[in-house]
Amino acid sequence: MKLVILDRDGVINEDSDDFIKTLDEFILLPGSLEAIKRLKQAGYQVVVATNQSGIARGYLTLDTLNAMHDKLNVLLADIGVNIDGFFYCPHGPDDGCECRKPKPGLYQQISQQFNVALEGVPVIGDSLRDLEAARAVGAKPILVRTGKGRRTLAAGKGLEDVPVYENLAEAVDALVKASH
């Protein structure tokens, strides 16, 4: 099975330092729907793994988060595809959970649910914690410049052997080309 893991905020949709709290704030980045469709057409299962500490902080409810994911899947259904799974950490940074990236718990959940080893699985993210969590499970970290990606690049740490692309569409183009 071919699998790819996508971070959400800053990769698929716009990010905000003030959190994505409402359905109206859940705005897709240009080209992200089409990029996901190209992944699906290339035979990939596509899952989303996202830290959502806004839930623990009281900024949004689980119902609002689910409505955002439903909106994404409705828009994808309009072009004939879907996300195969949404995995999220609802905890705050001080909760000591194992699922908040950079810890690998979310990715381990994906591995268990899909019964697949994550060695070499592409993980596309915009922050160092996405890359660190990917490395922790042997996955292949990929950075995009959207969202917090430019800040991550500017910090310059933890980027050894990490391919960098302008956005999700460019990263997907490279992945699909390499898989043929």
Whichever domain contains 108, its CATH number is 3.40.50.1000
| Percent of the chain topping pLDDT 70 | 100
pLDDT at residue 70 in the model: 97
pLDDT at residue 145 in the model: 98
Q: Which one of the listed residues 7, 15, 126, 130 is annotated catalytic?
A: 7
Helices vs strands, H then E, count in the chain: 6, 6
pLDDT at residue 40 in the model: 98
pLDDT tens string 17-68: 999 999 999 999 999 999 999 999 999 999 999 999 999 999 999 999 999 9
Cβ atoms of 116 and 3 within 8 Å: the answer is yes
Task: Compute the distance between CA of residue 129 and CA of residue 148 in angstroms, rounded to an integer.
Answer: 11
Q: Which one of the listed residues 9, 15, 126, 130 is annotated catalytic?
A: 9
Tell me the β-bridge partners of 48: 6, 86
Residue 180 has pLDDT above 80, yes or no: no
Question: Per the structure block, which two tokens stand in for 15?
Answer: 């990010």
pLDDT at residue 1 in the model: 85
Task: Compute the distance between CA of residue 130 and CA of residue 151 in angstroms, rounded to an integer.
Answer: 13
Nearest to 101 by CA among 61, 67, 137, 64: 137
Catalytic (active site) residue 63: no
Question: Per the structure block, which two tokens stand in for 177?
Answer: 């080309």
Task: Give the number of domains in the chain.
Answer: 1
pLDDT at residue 71 in the model: 97
Average pLDDT over residues 106-132: 97
pLDDT tens string 8-19: 999 999 999 999
Residue 117 has pLDDT above 90, yes or no: yes
Residue 177 has pLDDT above 90, yes or no: yes
Q: At 108, which amino acid appears? A: Q
pLDDT at residue 73 in the model: 97
Average pLDDT over residues 92-111: 96
The mean of the pLDDT values for the chain is 97
**For residue 179, what pLDDT band results from cuts at 50, 70 and 90?**
confident
Helices (H), the chain: 32-41, 62-77, 105-114, 128-136, 149-155, 168-178
Catalytic (active site) residue 9: yes
- Residue 49 domain boundaries: 2-178
